[in-house]
Amino acid sequence: MARMAMVFVALVASGCAHYGFQLVDSSLLTNEYLVNPRVTEDVGVFIDGDVPPESCERVALLRAAPTASVVDVLREEAGKLGANVVHLRDFRNRDNVRHGGREQAWNAVALHCPQGAGQSATRLD
């Protein structure tokens, strides 16, 4: 019984830490690339201020809870959606009235860049 209570407390605490959203929320913009998922290591990164080539197509909008490995979490999600680049956009830290606390999240865009177009993206192998 005590173990079940500890598990319940851990689940509630982790849910509160994310203020009502999962580790990564994604809004799919196209399903064209779902048939070709990529491993995390094959997903490059553009940081805020980088300008992706115009030939890159937006695959999804991503929002992730801040964690020590947030970049890898976003790369993994982007890869599952068939994107080969994730563009880190900004960090949000604002009041969340609905959940009664602060909401912190990284916003990013999962991109699919034609071969060669995403070469300027940072590879984090």
pTM of the model: 0.69
What would the two tokens of residue 90 be?
């900004």
Q: Where are the domains of the chain?
A: 2-112
Q: Greater confidence, 110 or 89?
A: 110
- Pairing state of beta strands 85-96 and 24-28? unpaired
Phi, psi of 88, rounded to the nearest 5 degrees: -70, 120
Using DSSP, state whether 30 is helix, strand or coil.
coil
Q: CB of 38 within 8 A of CB of 77? A: no
What is the predicted pLDDT for the residue at 68? Answer: 72
Q: Of the spans 9-18, 31-40, 83-92, which averages the highest pLDDT?
A: 31-40
pLDDT band at 9 (very low <50, low <70, confident <90, very high): very low
Q: CB of 24 within 8 A of CB of 73? A: yes
Using DSSP, state whether 18 is helix, strand or coil.
coil
pLDDT in tens, 95-105: 555 656 666 78
pLDDT in tens, 48-71: 888 899 999 999 999 988 877 888
What is the predicted pLDDT for the residue at 97? Answer: 56
Give the DSSP letter of residue 73.
Answer: H
What is the predicted pLDDT for the residue at 15? Answer: 38
Q: Greater confidence, 123 or 63?
A: 63
For the cut 50, the answer to whether the pLDDT of residue 21 exceeds it is no
